[in-house]
Structure 1
Amino acid sequence: MKITSVTTGGPCWAEIGTADPPAAKRFYAELFGWRPETDPREEAGGYTVMMLDARPAAGLTQLFAPDQPTAWTVSFATDDADAAAGRVTSAGGRVMLEPMEVLDLGRFSVVADTSGAVFALWQARAFAGAGVLNEPGSLGWVELLTRNTETAKAFYMRVFGWSVTPGETYTQWGLAGADFGGMLAMDDRFPPELPPHWVPYFAVADVDLTAERAAGLGGEVLMAPTSVPEGPRIAVLRDPQGAAFGVYLAGTEG
């Protein structure tokens, strides 16, 4: 990822909703060196910001519905959450949570693209989002897994104005010449019941060691460390509660 600060239209935050917040805090603190800071205000509902040194790196919250799976959600920055939610619906997507105020922090909406892949919109007020990007222990890449890549290209170009750089097997998303994410077509390797979804990737200093550490902490290695041709070394992991995420070697993104 060439974007090193929050940019309108780009990824600004990754948040995990989990059935076991204390266990998730311990797992990610051990894996990435994050320090949990839980908002003490009752109206915050126990929301926790995972800090990397003194900078916010990711969010953690409890599940709010019995059928809600433990999973990571990627948020994209917008200057106007209501207008962005309107573009989502006009492009064929769905608004799952209408834009709402989050204390004094910002305005927030949960939406889904035409295939059902869920993501969030964030209009910053007091809280801009990640205070660190693309450094070890921080968000550095976001990836859409979908079964209809052509429809997805049209949708995200319309909603965010992203550039699209297609390859033989992988498409990259960008803004103003800076790539920040990609798209992978879901083929027969993926179970038919697995829905399209976004996956956050976090930069690490050592992919192999991080994968080994995740397994030792009770997680699972979904894709073993692999060196992508003309790309970074990556791995896909799952935490003990079932949330999937990726890691890649810092400094080799884009």
Structure 2
Amino acid sequence: MSSTDRPHAPAWFDISTPDAPRARRFYQDLFGWQVDVIGGDYALVGGVDGRPQGGIGQAGTDSPYTGFVAYFPVDDVDTALARAERLGGSRVLPPTDTPVSRIAVFTDPDGNHVGLVGR
């Protein structure tokens, strides 16, 4: 099932933690996830048919957040982030290009972290 079949379903998750190796071991042991470390501080995890479903990264002093973030697919990350801010959200990670997509993170009015990922 694609994200167009379920347009509001999370497309990705990210766990940002002060101890990424510990978190990778924990979730690998808990869920049996495949863990593929890319670079020294980020790992792609989970996966269906060999495709990762999320990542676990090392949070540093300059990290915009720690904890769990679900990323929801949107047609335009910049437009969706601006809409979230107009509705009372607060920008945490500005629109950023990654090797595979454009992302952003905001907090909702209750302080929950929410991610946006371009389709």
Q: Give the TM interval when normalised to the shorter protein.
A: 0.7 to 0.9
From the CA coordinates, give the structure whose radius of gyration is larger: 1
The aligned residue for residue 101 of structure 2 is: 232
Check if 1:214 corresponds to 2:84.
Answer: yes
Query: Equivalents in 2 of 1:190, 1:140: separation in Å?
Result: 21
Give the SS at the match of 1:150. Answer: helix
Check if 1:182 corresponds to 2:51.
Answer: no
- Count of aligned residue pairs for this structure pair: 115
The aligned residue for residue 34 of structure 2 is: 163
Give the SS at the match of 1:179. Answer: coil
The aligned residue for residue 151 of structure 1 is: 22
The aligned residue for residue 139 of structure 1 is: 10
Read off the aligned partner of 1:185 and give its amino acid letter. Q
State the superposition RMSD in angstroms. Answer: 1.9
Query: Equivalents in 2 of 1:216, 1:200: separation in Å?
Result: 20
Check if 1:199 corresponds to 2:69.
Answer: yes
Query: Equivalents in 2 of 1:220, 1:235: separation in Å?
Result: 11
Read off the aligned partner of 2:15 and give its amino acid letter. L
Higher relative contact order (CA 8 A, sep 6+): 2
- 1:73-92 residue pairs with structure 2 within 5 A? none
Read off the aligned partner of 1:167 and give its amino acid letter. I
Query: Equivalents in 1 of 2:25, 2:88: separation in Å?
Result: 39
**TM-score, normalising length: structure 1:** 0.42
1:172 is aligned, of 34, 37, 44, to 44
Read off the aligned partner of 2:36 and give its amino acid letter. T
Q: Shift in Å at residue 190 of structure 1?
A: 4.2
Asked if 2 retains the 8 angstrom alpha-carbon contact of 1:220 and 1:238, the reply is yes
- List 4+ stretches of structure 1 deviating above 2 A: 133-138
Read off the aligned partner of 1:247 and give its amino acid letter. L
Read off the aligned partner of 2:51 and give its amino acid letter. A
- 1:2-13 residue pairs with structure 2 within 5 A? 4=1
Q: Shift in Å at residue 212 of structure 1?
A: 0.8
Query: Equivalents in 1 of 2:107, 2:93: separation in Å?
Result: 10
Show structure 2 runs of 5+ residues with no match: none
